[in-house]
Amino acid sequence: MAIGPRLDIRQTQSLVMTPQLQQAIKLLQLSNFELTAFIDQELERNPLLEREETERGPESAEPKVDATDLAVLDSAPAEAPLLDGMDGGSAEDGMDVDYDNTFNNDSASDAVQDESLSQWGNVGGGGGQGFDDGESNLEQMVAGDITLRDHLAAQVNVDILDPADRLIALHLIEMLDEAGYLIGDLGELAERLNCPVERVEAVLKRVQGFDPVGVFARSLKECLGLQLAEKNRLDPAMQALLDNLELLARRDLPGLMKVCGVDAEDLAEMIGEIKALDPKPALAFDHIVAQPVTPDVLMRRTQDGSWVVELNSDTLPRVLVNTRYYSKIAGAARSKDDKTYISERFQSANWLVKSLHQRATTILKVATEIVRQQDGFFRLGVQHLRPLVLRDIATAISMHESTVSRVTSNKYMATPRGIYELKYFFTQAIGSADGGDAHSAEAVRHRIKALIDAEGKSVLSDDSIVDALKAEGIDIARRTVAKYREAMNIGSSVQRRREKSLGM
């Protein structure tokens, strides 16, 4: 058989991501503040766009959805084509696929999105097209400053496995002041989350070991003590010095030598170590981020006890298409280039307005379903978080998991129990031994701790805990019990038996 070049005609299917589709995906991932910055740039580039200045009351700012009324959810047009009626064309004329159901799986979604959005030069570049115009901005390629909140939240995600403890830790982060000190009352936080104050104190002890050392301290004495303990220098003499910092402030060296039980040379060395510490460990970070975030979604209880979920109209940008100005300049245009430019700006403006409406509808549906699924947490407290994954929300609202993933990232909801990122309401599930409903991983951890706390002289092994949980209908493996026990800093049965024998 001869080998040579030839021409073949083949018909294949491939995913085409238009610039408009890329923009719709980009908008869905942005928070309200990021979206505002995007809109500001679009207003500068597109003369047919204008900001809506109409003042609206809080009751009419956004459509509200009762979390307990599924009929309202079903009536929301989440899957409406974004280009319907634009510029006299149909949805198929300007958009290849609807962004809600673009991808078959999350990995393919992320891969295609990363490849396609790699050309995104700046937010809103190209008058809504989303592509770089060829002039690269080096400043946009420089990584932004790491904020204190991001730095601590990253450590929470790695070091704290329990979802309830993670929520407590996030609340503690929001209680930090500019210097990294913890302000506020732990008892009030425990009451708001409906959990024991001892659990909040246990989480505080864990986060006090985070970097930078000294954050989450409630006083200067505790801040310096955390740093000295990290250096293994918190001996009795140094502790006595910390207990009498007022003497150090008054330069009462004889009094300090007396209370610390050291001579002048040792005291000078100890004071030198104190001076080398950082009394305000958080000042190296952006202090603004230590303040509470502004939520994208608001949630409140009605008089009949149901929940109402609405978008935060104060941070939600609104834009309109100036059709009168379009008609005026379109009729006055004479050259082909002018007509093409005006037509492109009009299409871009219409697309942006419709994309913003679709984004708002999608966020509202996802947030409302999260509230409905986690009703027990909002009513009864952190102990009642139920198992929840992206698939549960996606199935309930007839959307793809990738869409839910984008919506829940970088979006915050203000609830009666505090401000939470939407993704933190997703927890793992533990199967039921009797075929019933699955159990939340957090609830299982709480039950394991309760069994260990109730131990008498007889210490439960991990196998005994597995048997006890299976008797309660919780199907769990021994290694999972050991993992949860270690995550709660609870020793093994051998360690606990030794501690009981020593009277600890």
* Residue 244: how many other CB atoms lie within 10 Å: 18
Q: What is the DSSP letter of 435?
A: S
Q: Tell me how far apart the alpha carbons of residues 191 and 143 are, in angstroms, rounded to a whole number.
A: 39
Structure confidence at residue 434 (pLDDT): 53
470's CB contacts (< 8 A; 6+ apart) are: 433, 476
Tell me which residue has tokens 């509230």: 371
The dihedral built from the CA positions of residue 143, 147, 152 and 153, taken in this order, carries a sign that is negative
Phi, psi of 117 (to 5 degrees): -85, 0
Read off the tokens for 425.
């309401």
Pick from 426, 402, 355, 399: nearest CA to 111? 402
Q: Which domains does the chain have, with CATH numbers?
A: 148-285 (1.10.10.1330), 297-426 (no CATH), 439-502 (1.10.10)
User: What DSSP assignment string belongs to 74-141?
Assistant: HHS-TT--TTTTGGG--HHHH-SS-GGG--SSHHHHHHHHHHHHTT--STTTTTTT----S---GGGG
Strand partners, 421: 412
Q: In this predicted structure, what is the pLDDT of residue 158?
A: 83
**What does each of the 504 residues of the chain score in pLDDT, given as a tens digit?**
567 788 888 888 776 667 767 777 778 888 777 888 888 888 888 888 888 765 444 443 343 433 333 333 333 333 333 333 333 333 333 333 344 444 334 443 343 334 333 333 333 333 333 333 334 343 443 445 677 888 888 898 888 888 888 889 989 998 888 888 998 889 888 888 888 899 999 999 999 999 889 999 999 999 999 999 888 888 888 899 898 888 888 888 888 888 888 888 888 888 888 888 888 888 877 544 444 578 888 988 888 888 899 988 887 778 888 888 888 888 888 888 888 888 888 888 888 888 888 888 899 999 999 999 888 888 887 777 788 888 889 899 988 888 888 888 888 888 888 888 888 788 765 655 555 556 667 677 878 888 888 887 788 888 888 888 888 878 788 888 888 888 888 888 888 887 776 655
**Alpha carbon distance 181, 1 (integer Å):** 80
> Tokens 């709660």 identify what position?
488
What is the spatial distance between Cα 52 and Cα 64, in angstroms, rounded to a whole number?
Answer: 20
- C-alpha–C-alpha distance, residues 366 and 404, integer Å: 7
Element (H, E) at 231: none
pLDDT of residue 500: 73
Name the pTM for this structure. Answer: 0.51
pLDDT at 435: 53
Return the residue matching tokens 């957090």: 442
pLDDT at res. 205: 92
DSSP 8-class letter at 430 = E
DSSP secondary structure code for residue 289 in this structure: G
Largest Cα separation within the chain, whole Å, is: 103
Instruction: Please choose, from the candidates 398, 378, 314, the residue with its C-alpha nearest in 3D space to the C-alpha of residue 68.
Output: 378
Nearest to 427 by CA among 378, 479, 462, 392: 392
E strand spans, 170-268? none
Task: Quote the pLDDT of residue 87.
Answer: 38
CA-based torsion, 218, 220, 221, 226: positive or negative? positive
- Cα distance between residue 21 and residue 287, in whole Å: 37
Task: Write down the pLDDT at residue 438.
Answer: 61
